[in-house]
Structure 1
Amino acid sequence: MQKAIRTLLLSTALFAAGTAAARAETPKVVVSIKPIHSLVSAIMQGVGEPSLIVDGAASPHTYSLKPSNAAALQDADVIFWVGHGLEAFLEKPLESLGGKATVVELDDAPGLEKLPFREGGPFEAHVHEGEEGHDHAHEADENGHDHTKEAEGHDHAQGEEASHEGHEHGEFDMHLWLSPDNARAIAAEAAKVLAEKDPANAETYNRNLASLNDRLAALDKELAETVAPVKDKPFIVFHDAYQYFEHHYGVLAAGSITVSPETLPGAERLTQIRDKVKTLGATCVFAEPQFEPKLVNVVIEGTPAKSGTLDPEAATLDPGPDLYFTLMKSIATSLSDCLGQPG
């Protein structure tokens, strides 16, 4: 009897030690923003949970790193971020704190569709460093390409070089996740990196990727059906964050209130956008939850346009594997609800 008890205790101890070892080998994963965290969380289901840096209603455009974030970066085995054009606050911390981690810049993921920043017309002329006061919106380039007409015509200008204020020519719009095709590419890269880092759980990561792709395919179909009735109705957004969603589903953003959410627009810019709302007959002007909603009221004053809210970075949503789906459905539903209202 005592021998049997000793054998049972030894087996239990070995099982516990093996389980603890497996847990210890699970990589510590840190993700920058909620939409990417959601996709990585879906890949890691059944293995572990990644940590999130930009939580709550914070925006990566204006975020300041917290001590707890710094500690997580220093302890991480894998760090996922979109890249230099979005989470600028992470550039130096990744150099100093993420030394032992595998740092994955997802804007380099294979299979991503990358769209240049839009420039000119209702998306405003961008002032480049050393070119103060130079108006690109009303200038054709050396090849005769008119950027103003391009922006007003809702041409995504793939392959053309454009830029945000303070960024170099040739940079891309970094709101990559707002296309389900890009979400698939991001998820595939995350699964690949995690499987290489943690081969013991590679089968789980790959199985989760297959399941996620099935869900993304169903989501894509649902969103296309949701926005189909309002595809021909122009609207104005707070900042130009929705190009990937627009490009994928064929909806018609006619301009943005501000070029960069770090810099609030002046009175002249607001007047220009109000005039654009009147000229185009824009049905809706959309605010974002992180930024001042009064600006939208200023823009629609004296016009028949209605106001709505879009949340491209999931500021109001709880993090987790389902967040991405809630986020994308919310954008489609907000567009459909506001644009579908009678004028």
Structure 2
Amino acid sequence: MRYIISFLLTSLAATAPITAPATASAEVPRVVTDIPPVHALVAQVMGDLGSPALLLAKGASEHDFQLRPSQAQALAEAQLVVWIGPELTPWLDRALRGLTTGTSLALLDAPETETRAFSADGAHMEADHDGHDDHGHDGHDHSGTDPHAWLDPDNARHWLPLVAAELSRLDPANAATYAANAKAADARIAALDTRLAAQLAPYSDRPIVAYHDAYGYFSAHYGLKILGSIALGDATAPGAAKLSALTDALAAGQAACLFPEAQHDPALAEQLASGAGLRLGPALDPVGSTLEPGPAAYAALLTALADGMTTCLGAGSGP
């Protein structure tokens, strides 16, 4: 599938316009982004010329998101939508097909993007797989291509010039500014990457278990070892037998730390860590749902992941 797609406008309810940041010029394209890290990258390329709108603001989940009428209006008026792709947000794919006449830049489909399959570093440790399948939420599927590609900073660096090129096509008068902003953002991410690589290097031999399999790109890039993840149903906690099996699997895996996740109740992770004799790490946030949106959010996201992992891994392997 081509990664730039023009969609036909088929329907749009009359709604109040979305509240979006003012731009420096009427010529600056109207841009919508899906998640905070993508928003941060696009915001850096746009710089002082304007600001992209963000669909999943602080606290929102990509798994069960519902578009507000004002956001549907923003999509209909957007000249450019920059998003990860339907692998992460199938609901946005449907919305784009029905609402957007502008250009869609699906980053996972860009030829420059390095993709990987789910669970390349370890197996699911499934607590309630049937509940996960039957709950009916509209989240991404945990098979096939892993959509969390923004957690590899090399991908982020590949995407910056793609965004600059699309903005320049829509706004050629500011092409030089977009290119310069992308180059500056690339340098910042490269420096961040060097710092995080040095921070995480001492822990390459300390296996971890994550709440769900969102960290394959991050762990592969920085040489970390993920033994597996806990695949959970959204509706119910695991029964006693499954809980016991999970605890045994975690204990046998000799992981150093177990990490809960910011968008999920930590109670199960706490119980499993205690039962398996693992150190419980801080809650990780792979999509940036706890961060303030803006140009600095991408660096803040990767820094928070690295800091959270080293906080636990550096403290020792015992509970």
Structure 2 counterpart of 1:243: 216
Residue 91 (structure 1) shift: 1.8
Distance 1:262 1:113, change over 3 A: farther
Per-residue CA distance 1:30-58 (angstroms, 9 max, x = gap): 00000100000000002100000011111
Counterpart selection for 1:318 from 292, 298, 307: 292
Number of residues paired by the alignment? 287
Counterpart of 2:263, as a letter, is: Q
TM-score, scaled relative to structure 2? 0.83
Does structure 1 residue 266 correspond to structure 2 residue 268? Answer: no
Does structure 1 residue 336 correspond to structure 2 residue 310? Answer: yes
Counterpart selection for 1:197 from 150, 157, 170: 170
- What RMSD over aligned residues (CA atoms) do the two structures have, in Å? 2.8
Does structure 1 residue 64 correspond to structure 2 residue 66? Answer: yes
Matches of 2:141 and 2:304 in 1, distance apart? 30
Residue 303 (structure 1) shift: 2.8
Give 3-state SS (helix, strand or coil) of 2:272's partner: helix
Counterpart of 1:310, as a letter, is: L
Identity of aligned residues (%): 38
Larger radius of gyration: 1
Per-residue CA distance 1:106-158 (angstroms, 9 max, x = gap): 11123211001227973258xx9xxx9xxxxxxxxxxxxxxxxxxxxxxxxxx
Contact 2:120 2:216 in 1 (8 A): no
Matches of 1:249 and 1:235 in 2, distance apart? 13
Distance 1:269 1:202, change over 3 A: farther
Where relative contact order (Cα < 8 A, 6+ residues apart) is larger, the structure is 2
Per-residue CA distance 1:280-325 (angstroms, 9 max, x = gap): 2212111111111111012112232122211100111000111000
Counterpart of 2:124, as a letter, is: F
Matches of 2:268 and 2:155 in 1, distance apart? 31
Matches of 2:307 and 2:288 in 1, distance apart? 14
Does structure 1 residue 39 correspond to structure 2 residue 12? Answer: no
Contact 2:72 2:99 in 1 (8 A): yes
Structure 2 unaligned residues grouped into runs of 5+: 1-21, 134-138
Residue 103 (structure 1) shift: 1.1
Structure 1 unaligned residues grouped into runs of 5+: 1-19, 133-164
Structure 1 counterpart of 2:109: 108
Counterpart of 1:199, as a letter, is: P
Counterpart selection for 1:275 from 241, 248, 257: 248
TM-score, scaled relative to structure 1? 0.77
Distance 1:183 1:262, change over 3 A: farther
Does structure 1 residue 302 correspond to structure 2 residue 257? Answer: no
Contact 1:283 1:304 in 2 (8 A): no
Taking the TM superposition and a 5 Å limit, the aligned residue runs for 1:1-343 are 23-98=25-100, 100-118=101-119, 122-124=123-125, 171-258=144-231, 266-267=238-239, 268-307=241-280, 308-342=282-316, 343=318
Per-residue CA distance 1:206-251 (angstroms, 9 max, x = gap): 0001101111110111011111111111111111000000110110
Distance 1:65 1:166, change over 3 A: closer
Deviates more, 1:261-270 or 1:68-77: 261-270
